[in-house]
Amino acid sequence: MKHIFVTGGVVSGLGKGICAASLGRLLKQRGFRVKNQKFDPYFNVDPGTMSPFQHGEVFVTDDGAETDLDLGHYERFVDESLTGNASVSSGKVFWNVLNRERQGGYLGGTVQIIPHVTDEIKRRIYAMDDGETDIIITEVGGTVGDIESQPYLEAIRQVAAEKGRENVLYIHVPLVVSIPGTGELKSKPTQHSVKELLSVGIQPDILVCRTDSPLPEDLRRKIALFCNMEEDCVIQNLTASTLYEVPLLLEREGLCRVACRKLGLPQREPDLAEWTALVQRINGVHKTVQIALVGKYTGLHDAYLSVAESLFHAGTACDARVNIKWVDSEGLTAENVKQVLGDCSGILVPGGFGDRGIEGMVLAAQYARENDVPYFGICLGMQIAVIEYARHVAGWADAHSAEFSGLTAHPVIALMPDQVGITAKGGTMRLGKYPCVLAEGTLARDAYGAADISERHRHRYEFNNQFRQELQDAGLRLAGLSPDGHLVEIVEEPANTWFVGVQFHPEFKSRPNRPHPLFVGFVQASLDRQG
C-alpha cells in the first residue's frame, strides 16, 4: 500500500482538505482504490462536544464516529464511505497512550512522545490498510511549525523509513503571498515553510502552491530550485469558480501524473467525463432560488457546511443556483417573521443543541406551514416541526421538547424509556447509520423511490410515542419509522405541498454527482412555488 501525506504551510485554511480530496478523486478515476484520513492536533477526543463556532460542523460516519468536517469533503469528492479510523485527534492518541500506560502496557517504561506517541500515530495510519486499498491519503491538520503538529510530522517521517521511501509521498500546500497594492507574488514564505519541514527530516516531493494569480514560470523555477525539487513538482492551485472544479484544475497542472511517477504507479488515463460534465452543469445553471436557512450557528457558515453543499448539489440537479439566506433564529420574532422570510421560496431548519433560538425556529416552521412554503426540518428541525404542530394544530399551547422544558405537560419530544437517566455529554446519542421504513403515498417514499432506506443520526431526543396517536389524529403524517415501528424517523404535513421533517442527517450522504433525493425534492418544490 502507498502512503500520501498532505501538510500545510505559511497559514491555515489554504484548502489542504480540498487538495487531498481532489487528489483522491483523480487517483480513483485512474482505477486506484483510495481512502482519506485526517489528523487533528487538538486535544479534544473528537469534535462531538465542541461548539460549532469553534470548529464548524461535526461530520458523522456510518459507524457513528463524530469527526472533522474535512471527512465530509473526502466523502463528497472521493465517494467512499469512511469510518472512525479516518479521523484522529491528539486527544484520541494521548487517551490511548495513557490508558495503555495505566494498564501496564509499557511494562513500567518511561512513556514519551518518541516512541510511544509516534507509535500510536503510526498505528492509526497502518490501521487504514484493510487489504482492499491501494493508496491512503493522510492530511495533517494545522500548519508546519505549530508545536501541536510536531509528533505527527515525526511519525510520518518514520513511516517512510519503515515502509520504504518509494512507497511514501509528501505533498506540502503552502501559500504564495501576493503583496498588497502591487500584486507581486513572493515565494519567500513558501521557502521558509519547506525549510521547517526539512528541519524535521521531511523533504516534500510536491508543492501545491495556493495562489489567486497564475504562477509565472520564472517563479516556479525559483521555488523548485530553492526547495530542491523538479520544476513540474511545483503545482499551482488557483482559486476555482467552484470547489468541484479543483480536481480538474489540478489534473491540468499534472498533480496526479507527478504523484504516480513518484510512487512508481502505472500512468493511466483518468475517466473524468462525468466530473467534467458535473462542473459544466454547475457553471451552466439557468435559474435561481432563495432558501432561508434558519439556525442558531449562522455566524459561522461552516457550522452547516454539509447542508449548504447538499443544497448546492440539489440546485445543480434542478438547473438552479441556490442562494442561502442565513437567518439567525434568535432574531426571528412574530413581528418580523414575514419580513425576514417573505422573500424566500423555501425554509430549512437544520440540527442543533440547546434552547437558544428555539422559539425563532418554531416561528419559521409555523410561517412555512401556514403559508404553504416548502419546509425541510433536519434533526432538531424535525423536532421543531412537531412542537409547532402540537401547539398550533393539536392545540397544546405548552407543547415542547423535554430537552428545553421540564414543566410542560406535553413533551412531544423526549428521551425514550431506555434513555431515561442518561444526562452526560458524549457517547450518549443515537449515532451513525440506522434503517428506516417509508410509508406508501408519502413525499419521502416518492423522493427515495424505495421503501427501505438507511441514514446517519446524531441526536439524543426522539418523537414521544405517548402523543403519537393524538398527533396523527390531528393530521400529522408519520412517513418513516424504524423497522420495529418504535421510533418515528420522518414526519410530514399532508395539507402542505412539501413539508418534511427527518430525525436523521441526510446531508451527510449527498454527493455532487448523486444529490440526496430529499434535498432535490425540497429544492424542486421551492422552485415550483417560485414559479
What is the C-alpha separation between 27 and 23, in angstroms, rounded? 6
Q: 240 among the known binding-site residues? A: yes
Q: Which of 19, 379, 400, 493 is catalytic?
A: 379
CA distance 507 to 349: 13
Is 130 known to sit in a ligand binding site? no
Residue 383 marked in a binding site: yes
Exposed / middle / buried, residue 222 (Cβ in 10 Å: 0-12, 13-18, 19+) = middle
Asked if residue 243 belongs to a known ligand binding site, the reply is no
Question: Is 9 assigned to a binding site?
Answer: no
All three cell numbers of 288: 435561481
Any catalytic annotation for residue 253? Answer: no
57 among annotated binding-site residues: no
Does the annotation place 25 within a ligand binding site?
no
Q: Is 188 annotated as a binding residue?
A: yes
To the question of whether residue 162 is assigned a binding role by annotation, the answer is no
Does 201 appear as a known binding residue? no
C-alpha cell at 287: 435559474
The DSSP H or E segment spanning 529 is helix 517-530
- DSSP letters for 452-492: EEEEEEEES-EE-GGGHHHHHHTT-EEEEE-TTS-SEEEEE
> Has 381 been labeled as part of a binding site?
yes
Map grid coordinates 527530516 to a residue. 201
Catalytic residue among 116, 388, 507, 516: 507
Catalytic residue list contains 227: no
Residue 228, Ramachandran bin (φ over 0: left; ψ between -120 and 50: alpha; else beta): left
Strand-pairing partners, residue 178, are 185
Is 489 annotated to bind ligand? Answer: no
Q: Is 431 annotated as a binding residue?
A: no
Q: Is 104 annotated as a binding residue?
A: no
Q: For residues 97 and 119, give the distance between their C-alpha atoms in angstroms, rounded to a whole number.
A: 9
d(CA 234, CA 176) in angstroms, rounded, equals 11
Is 16 labelled a binding residue?
yes
Known binder of ligand: residue 190?
yes
331-334 — which CB contacts under 8 Å span 24+ positions? 331/360, 332/294, 332/360, 332/361, 332/363, 332/364, 333/360, 333/363, 334/363
How many angstroms separate the CA atoms of 462 and 139, rounded?
Answer: 36
The catalytic position among 73, 459, 505, 516 is 505
> Active site includes 505?
yes
Question: What's the distance, Cα to Cα, between the start and end of the chain in Å?
Answer: 53
How far apart, in whole angstroms, are the C-alpha atoms of residue 510 and residue 506?
A: 7
The verdict on whether residue 357 carries a ligand-binding annotation is no
Is residue 475 part of an annotated ligand binding site? no
Burial of 316 from C-beta contacts in 10 A (0-12 / 13-18 / 19+): buried
Q: Binding site annotation covers 187?
A: yes
Would you name the residues annotated as active-site residues?
379, 505, 507
Annotated binding site for L-glutamine: 352, 380-383, 403, 460
Annotated binding site for UTP: 12, 186-191, 222
Annotated binding site: 12-18, 70, 139, 146-148, 186-191, 222, 240, 352, 380-383, 403, 460
Annotated binding site for CTP: 12, 146-148, 186-191, 222
